[in-house]
Amino acid sequence: MRPDEETSAAFLYCLIVAATKWGIRVLVACAMSNHYHAVIYDEHGNYPRFLQQFHRLFARVMNRVRDREENFWSSEQTSVVALSSPKALLEALVYAATNPVKDHLVARVRDWPGVNTLEALLEGKALEGERPRSYFRANGKMPRNVAMTPTLPEHPWIGDATEFLATLARMVGEAEADARADLAARRAAPLGAAVVLARSPTASPMNAEREHDLNPQFATGDVSLVRRAIEFYASFQQSHRDARRKWCAGDRRALFPAGTYWMRVHMHVRVASTHALAPRADGRERKGVRARIARAPAIAARSASARR
Rounded distance between C-alpha atoms, residue 246 and residue 269, angstroms:
11
Rounded distance between C-alpha atoms, residue 131 and residue 13, angstroms:
6
Residue-level pLDDT at 71: 85
Residue-level pLDDT at 54: 96
Residue-level pLDDT at 79: 85
- pLDDT tens-digit profile, the chain (308 residues): 899 999 999 999 999 999 999 999 999 999 999 899 999 999 888 889 999 999 999 999 999 998 888 888 888 888 888 888 888 899 999 999 999 999 999 999 999 999 999 999 999 999 999 999 988 888 889 999 999 999 999 888 888 999 999 999 999 999 999 999 999 999 999 999 999 999 888 777 666 555 556 666 767 667 777 778 788 888 889 999 999 999 999 999 999 998 888 999 999 999 988 644 433 333 333 333 333 333 334 566 556 677 65
Residue-level pLDDT at 307: 63
Q: Cβ distance 134 to 61 under 8 Å?
A: yes
Contacts of 40 (CB under 8 A, 6+ apart): 19, 24, 25, 26, 27, 47, 50, 299, 300, 301, 302
Residue-level pLDDT at 304: 66
Alpha helices, DSSP H, located in 66-160? 86-97, 99-102, 118-123
User: For residue 24, which phi and psi values (nearest 5 degrees)?
Assistant: -95, 135
- Domain positions in the chain are 5-221+297-305, 223-271
Residue-level pLDDT at 207: 62
Q: Cβ distance 29 to 3 under 8 Å?
A: no
Give the global pTM. Answer: 0.83
Q: Cβ distance 144 to 15 under 8 Å?
A: no
| Residue 279, number of CB atoms within 10 A of its CB | 12
Rounded distance between C-alpha atoms, residue 228 and residue 84, angstroms:
10
Residue-level pLDDT at 25: 94
